[in-house]
Structure 1
Amino acid sequence: MTHDRDILLTLFDRELREHARPDGPGVRVERTADVVRQAGAADDWNGVVWSSPGLDAVRADAAIAEQVEHFTALGRDAFEWKLYAHDRPADLGQRLVRAGFVAEPPETLLVAPVADLPTAVELPEGVTLRTVTDAAGVELMAAAHERAFGSDGSRLRHQVLARLAAAPDSFVGVLAMVGDEPVSSARMELYPGTGFAGLWGGGTVEPWRGRGIYRALVAYRARIAAERGFRYLQVDATDLSRPILQRLGFRVLTTTTPYVYRRRA
């Protein structure tokens, strides 16, 4: 079977964006004529995941204004419009900025057929893997995330605890441990009814970078995805992880940029 870029991108758009499913308990996916959005509590991800390829200038501005009104009425302090490079109209990002959104650093969307990925887990000496199955594991995951990325892990705690409680079979969390210390964490979201699973996280604390831990966590999750019958792995990659993923067999499909709207005081 060919894994042509355009075919994969069309499949991704249809299965994970246009027909998106809630990414956790207590959230809902809403569909309007021009967008698909997710709404939940303040600690959930709130935002637009898909916009109609038929948007023109007038419809785009109307859709943007509608989302600002919608999420503001829900009392959300912030929400995201997840824009992909092929979304239309071509100046949609500029229109979002004019409406008060702020662009965050872009990421690269990569996809790989699971069957083509290495699944042998090779760890440096002294490092072991531990799956995340309870609140104690979630705390270790959040601690590794905070140390690796330098950002607050409160939202991650909330989302992973909720997922473990309500839908543990759709989530895989893994830690790389040195003794009792978490030095890296990663997770995989399984999207039932699609051929895709998504890789998220993968942050490693500074002293342990460059030793193959990131690659090992990818291989571990690829093996589980294969065992559970998923055909593709998807990653929104930073510039740091993109070259590693490409060496493992991931293909670049496009770029994605978060445009964030924050409610004014």
Structure 2
Amino acid sequence: MQPFHDFSARSLIEVIEANTREFLLALGRLGGGEDLDRADRQWIIGGSPLAYHNCVVRACLTEETMDEAIVSSIQRFQAYNVPGSWHVGPWMRPENLGERLVAHGFTHEGNEPGMAVDLLRLNAHISTPQGLVIERVRNEQDLEVWTRTLAMGFGEGEIEANWVGAMYHKSGFAEDGLWHHYLGRWNGEPVATTSLFLGAGVAGIYFVFTIPTARRQGIGAAITFAALQDASRRGYRVGILGSSSMGYPVYRRLGFQEYCQIEMYEWTPRENGPLFASQ
């Protein structure tokens, strides 16, 4: 794999976006979503009950085509009766895309810092809390425990965890697969999760979660570190992720640096709401 020092800041932004895009597309396809891939836009819609995963992941539009593309995405959300989202990264165009999404009824849900780290320069002083054991998810029974743990507070709770778990069940547990999942047990009890997605030549970290009663013990850092070490053993040299505000200081301690912001815009079905906002 390409060493970290060969990546410019610009190319790191590109692979952060690319890994995230491939991750979303892969999960959405497993859910049976409608996969549109055109020169000016790409989306996966209809395969998930979650706005985050019915999403537009790439757009290179113009002032003249932007409104039509936004309306088309809303029409597909409506056709499948699902909420949806646009993941607006640094290379999406035009620059006022976010403003037009809001004008069409989307809500700006905040930004996800896009971060990257040299896997050969991870902070090796991250300690594993006493009593914590981190295991690879290798079969259906392990995945069931992983899913139940994620459901204890991540994102949209059981709805999100059950859908993600079902998609991971479909993807399987192959050693050479794109996905690898990790479960943290603290004094024998499952308390933490994360997933590794190998795409776009880099290692993406997703679904990092520690149950509320086990937080502030270093468990989140430890399970993320373990997944990144696994990626390094597999020959990957760059780790990437989109950070929550809670996770940001944890990832900084591991060695991650912020390179971009990915803005989240979500659309929810509304009765009698306008399809097309006035310009």
The alpha-carbon deviation at position 105 of structure 1 amounts to 2.9
Structure 1 pair 180/248, CA: closer, same or farther in 2 (3 Å)? Answer: closer
The alpha-carbon deviation at position 110 of structure 1 amounts to 0.5
1:254 matches 2:263: no
The one of 56, 79, 84 equivalent to 2:62 is 56
Structure 1 pair 11/124, CA: closer, same or farther in 2 (3 Å)? Answer: closer
The alpha-carbon deviation at position 86 of structure 1 amounts to 5.2
| Structure 1: runs of 5+ lacking an equivalent | none
The one of 144, 167, 176 equivalent to 1:162 is 167
| Structure 2: runs of 5+ lacking an equivalent | 272-279
Aligned partners of 1:19 and 1:189: how far apart in 2? 7
Number of the residue aligned with 2:238 = 232
Please tell me whether the aligned partners of residues 151 and 160 of structure 2 are also in contact (alpha carbons under 8 angstroms): no
Structure 1 pair 61/95, CA: closer, same or farther in 2 (3 Å)? Answer: same
Aligned structure 1 segments of 4 or more residues deviating by more than 6 angstroms: none
Structure 1 pair 152/21, CA: closer, same or farther in 2 (3 Å)? Answer: closer
Please tell me whether the aligned partners of residues 133 and 164 of structure 1 are also in contact (alpha carbons under 8 angstroms): no
Number of the residue aligned with 1:203 = 209
TM-score under structure 2 normalisation? 0.82
Number of the residue aligned with 1:76 = 81
The one of 75, 79, 102 equivalent to 2:107 is 102
Number of the residue aligned with 1:123 = 128
Pairs within 5 Å for 1:84-95: 84-85=89-90, 87-95=92-100
Aligned partners of 1:225 and 1:28: how far apart in 2? 30
Deviates more, 1:39-48 or 1:10-19: 10-19
Aligned partners of 1:104 and 1:15: how far apart in 2? 21
RMSD (Å) for aligned C-alpha atoms: 2.7
Please tell me whether the aligned partners of residues 197 and 204 of structure 2 are also in contact (alpha carbons under 8 angstroms): yes
Please tell me whether the aligned partners of residues 64 and 96 of structure 1 are also in contact (alpha carbons under 8 angstroms): yes
Deviates more, 1:134-143 or 1:167-176: 134-143
The one of 40, 44, 47 equivalent to 1:41 is 47
Aligned partners of 2:34 and 2:236: how far apart in 1? 24
Deviates more, 1:210-219 or 1:15-24: 15-24
Pairs within 5 Å for 1:183-194: 183-191=191-199, 194=200
The one of 227, 236, 250 equivalent to 1:221 is 227
The one of 3, 7, 13 equivalent to 1:9 is 13
Aligned partners of 1:147 and 1:20: how far apart in 2? 22
Aligned partners of 1:151 and 1:180: how far apart in 2? 26
How many residues align structurally?
260
Deviates more, 1:138-147 or 1:240-249: 138-147
The one of 174, 179, 196 equivalent to 2:182 is 174
Structure 1 pair 134/14, CA: closer, same or farther in 2 (3 Å)? Answer: closer
Number of the residue aligned with 2:275 = none
